[in-house]
Amino acid sequence: MFNKILIANRGEIACRVIKTARKMGISTVAIYSDADADALHVRMADEKIHIGAAPATDSYLDAEKIIAAAKTTGADAIHPGYGFLSENADFCQKLEAEGITFIGPNRNAIGVMGDKISSKKLAEKAGVNTIPGYLGVIKDAEEAVKVANEIGYPVMLKASAGGGGKGMRVVYNDNEAREGFKSAVNEAKSSFGDDRVFAEKFIENPRHIEIQVLGDNHGNVIYLAERECSIQRRHQKVIEEAPSSFLHMETRVKMGNQSVALAKAVNYNSAGTVEFIVDKDQNFYFLEMNTRLQVEHPVTELITGIDLVEQMIRGAAGERLSITQDKVMINGWAIEARVYAEDPLRGFLPSTGRVTNYIEPEQNENIRIDSGIFEGSEISIYYDPMISKVIAYGSDRDEAIAKLRLALDEYYIRGVGHNIAFLSDVLKSPRFQSGDISTKFIEEEYEDGFNGGRVSLEAWNIMIAVATTVHSCEVGRQSTISGRMNEESSSFSETWQVQIDGEVQPANFLMTQDGCNVITGGLVYSVETLWAPGMPVFSAVINDEKVNIEVEYLSDGYRLTYDGASEVIYVRSQREQELASYMIEKAPVDMSKYLQCPMPGLVVSIDVAEGEEIKEGQKLCVIEAMKMENILCAEQDGKVSKISAVAGGSLAVDEIIMEFE
């Protein structure tokens, strides 16, 4: 077994690998860029070593620097995590030459399966179901149009070395094919250093289901059932679960056997994932094989009890798989939600900056948090915006969903935008809960984007009950401090006027030795809580149900966030409510004649000039943030009067790019 492992990665996956290595008694080395000098994975590791500037090309993608770091620290092996160099065959070859073990599959498997063109050819040869497409490298935008027409729209343009939604575009016509090809090439080059792009038929409304495989250096390969990864946005997985509620056992076995056959065709000897798209009739087609640890691996670990990182380490050290196919069991259900630093109310644009407040949900046998940050961490523009993964385990799907919703309500993050409200809203969707999902779920359920969570009448009343309790506690505390209430008094009652979303309704609050009761909407809400003023999350049992509600103090009222919805609530006396009705709302500033930067990022190009007449839908500029290109287009006809940004410059959120007449 290895004495020391260097983790050639950062963030949550580096922390994840460190945890298993520590459990196995193996020392760890963290590498870090300028941007990650004080990162959590650096703090956790036994040793640390600096490898370069913030851009990934100067640090986490620089194989020579990483190998030098391993030699300097005396590491026996390198675990690549996911992304960066995890599927780089040249990196593996260099490690072999230096006598350093790569904790992953052999370089031939990485080379063949990591290339989406060659992998499809091999899959066909191995008898795996494949999607129709063009497996040659597309040379330019015009060839992309020609190929797309031959295949038939819609078509998926994909980076050959891609993954994680980078370098992928679905196109429905010739213009989209031209623009999509350019963006796919640019993203592929910046993310993977490989700008090759191919095309395949885009199968509409499929499910994305993948099979986890494990192999060793002795010819043994097994599969560990499947993961359902259909909840995606821009081809990036958002919520994953294991097993799938859709697959029949017969389909599961067929997919598993084909995955093993494909793995054996390349002598696969580590953890890997074979991804499929599955249509409504359970016909399945090979999509790609990821020759690395997947982001969503925890759901498989929770239902099988198998530590995949440990298996990777043991396999790389030459040990035989200690698990046989007949011993692989599926116990319970696990669901994972990816928490990203992004603003779902602004089209899910990345959010960067310092995390000023950070409180994770309590971890236990049913809740697992894989995170790479802490309070004070910096979310950089240089890397993927994922903050953490929240994984819930239950005896069945309904229980796992309920536990995940409760954990997300307990999560408290300030300083950067995040998608927790959106995740909660998806989980409570009747369609999601029924299991009627596809890769178009988000597109179909949120046609106009995410505009805030949907609030049920019951959730509405619970939020009113909590706001009333919070306000009453504050008033009671102030009264006690000022001497207007006997400190030994055990009861407090008041009638409040509660305003939420423009509506006002009364709420009666009564606090006794036995707890708190709020009467609102003709219903009684019994509130049992240990909450105290100032706590950011109101944890309570309300009418025998556990709830977690985020409470933010405003100058006049409270903003409560619960189950994916956020509401501003005012709790006032009768007289205060009367006076509030006379207050005039401040009109928002008209910014319609400005193009503002929707997220912090780098200006890739300015595609218009001052004085130019523009048409609705015309491309104005391209902004890159976290390796994703975002094309900003004109919302209406007009004329450019002034351009304030320049190509190559960096912009803050809401910074003005150009003005219109």
Q: What is the CATH number of the domain that holds 28?
A: 3.40.50.20
pLDDT at 480 over 70: no
pLDDT at 477: 75
Same domain for 394 and 482, yes or no, is no
The two structure tokens encoding residue 273: 């994932």
pLDDT at 600: 82
Tens digit of pLDDT for each residue in 514-552?
Answer: 789 999 989 999 999 999 988 999 999 999 999 999 999
The predicted model gives 607-631 an average pLDDT of: 90
pLDDT at 166: 80
Same domain for 526 and 428, yes or no, is no
Question: Is residue 465 included in any domain, yes or no?
Answer: yes
The predicted model gives 401-405 an average pLDDT of: 98
Domain containing residue 570: CATH number: 3.30.700.30
The predicted model gives 274-285 an average pLDDT of: 93
Domain containing residue 167: CATH number: 3.30.1490.20
Tell me the pLDDT band of 487, cut-offs 50, 70 and 90: very low
Tell me the pLDDT band of 486, cut-offs 50, 70 and 90: very low
pLDDT at 205: 83
Instruction: Say how far apart CA 165 and CA 628 lie, in whole Å.
Output: 9
Tell me the pLDDT band of 481, cut-offs 50, 70 and 90: low
Same domain for 435 and 315, yes or no, is yes
Same domain for 307 and 437, yes or no, is yes
Quickly count: other Cβ atoms within 10 Å of residue 195's Cβ.
Answer: 18
List the Cα angle 463/425/239 in 5-degree steps.
140
Question: Is residue 473 included in any domain, yes or no?
Answer: yes
Question: Is residue 126 included in any domain, yes or no?
Answer: no
Question: Is residue 124 included in any domain, yes or no?
Answer: no
pLDDT at 485 over 50: no
The predicted model gives 420-449 an average pLDDT of: 95
Quickly count: other Cβ atoms within 10 Å of residue 158's Cβ.
Answer: 27
240 has which bridge partners? 336
Tell me the pLDDT band of 304, cut-offs 50, 70 and 90: very high
Same domain for 438 and 520, yes or no, is no
The predicted model gives 1-13 an average pLDDT of: 98
Of the listed ranges 297-306, 409-418, 472-481, 591-600, the one predicted with least confidence = 472-481
Whether 534 and 522 have beta carbons less than 8 Å apart is answered as no
The predicted model gives 294-300 an average pLDDT of: 98
Of 580, 609, 634, the residue that ends a domain is 580
Whether 297 and 81 have beta carbons less than 8 Å apart is answered as no
pLDDT at 476 over 90: no
Tell me the residue ranges of DSSP E strands in 112-253.
133-134, 155-163, 166-171, 197-201, 207-215, 221-233, 236-242
Please tell me which residue in 176, 228, 275, 288 is annotated as part of the active site.
288
Percent of the chain with pLDDT over 70: 97
Instruction: Say how far apart CA 156 and CA 159 lie, in whole Å.
Output: 10
Of 175, 201, 227, the residue that ends a domain is 201
Instruction: Say how far apart CA 102 and CA 269 lie, in whole Å.
Output: 11
Whether 332 and 395 have beta carbons less than 8 Å apart is answered as yes
Domain containing residue 421: CATH number: 3.30.470.20
- What's the chain's average pLDDT? 93
Same domain for 461 and 418, yes or no, is no
545 is catalytic: no
Evaluate the omega torsion of the peptide bond into residue 344 and state whether it is cis, within 30 degrees of 0.
no
pLDDT at 483: 47
pLDDT at 490: 57
Question: Is residue 114 included in any domain, yes or no?
Answer: no
pLDDT at 557: 93
pLDDT at 407: 98
pLDDT at 484: 44
The predicted model gives 13-35 an average pLDDT of: 98
pLDDT at 625 over 90: no
Tens digit of pLDDT for each residue in 201-228?
Answer: 888 789 999 999 999 999 999 999 899 9
pLDDT at 164: 67
CA-atom Rg of the chain in angstroms: 27
- Burial of 115 per CB tally in 10 Å (0-12, 13-18, 19+): buried
Tell me the pLDDT band of 447, cut-offs 50, 70 and 90: very high
Instruction: Say how far apart CA 51 and CA 171 lie, in whole Å.
Output: 39
pLDDT at 2 over 60: yes
Domain range for residue 157? 132-201
pLDDT at 482 over 60: no
Backbone angles phi, psi at 94, to 5 degrees: -65, -40
Same domain for 229 and 327, yes or no, is yes
Same domain for 84 and 98, yes or no, is yes
Instruction: Say how far apart CA 490 and CA 476 lie, in whole Å.
Output: 11
pLDDT at 475: 85
pLDDT at 122: 94
Same domain for 142 and 226, yes or no, is no
Whether 180 and 199 have beta carbons less than 8 Å apart is answered as no
Same domain for 434 and 545, yes or no, is no
Domain containing residue 611: CATH number: 2.40.50.100
Question: Is residue 516 included in any domain, yes or no?
Answer: yes
pLDDT at 653: 85
pLDDT at 467: 96
pLDDT at 350 over 60: yes
The predicted model gives 422-449 an average pLDDT of: 95
Tens digit of pLDDT for each residue in 359-395?
Answer: 999 999 999 999 999 999 999 888 988 999 999 999 9
pLDDT at 479: 62
The predicted model gives 127-148 an average pLDDT of: 92
**Total domain count, the chain:** 5
The residues near 430 (Cβ < 8 Å, ≥ 6 apart) are: none
Question: Is residue 587 included in any domain, yes or no?
Answer: no
The residues near 77 (Cβ < 8 Å, ≥ 6 apart) are: 2, 4, 5, 6, 100, 101, 102, 103, 313, 316, 317
Same domain for 162 and 214, yes or no, is no
- More confident call, 4 vs 457: 4
Of 580, 612, 631, the residue that ends a domain is 580
The two structure tokens encoding residue 249: 């056992």
Question: Is residue 526 included in any domain, yes or no?
Answer: yes
Same domain for 144 and 220, yes or no, is no
Tens digit of pLDDT for each residue in 62-76?
Answer: 999 999 999 999 999
pLDDT at 339 over 80: yes
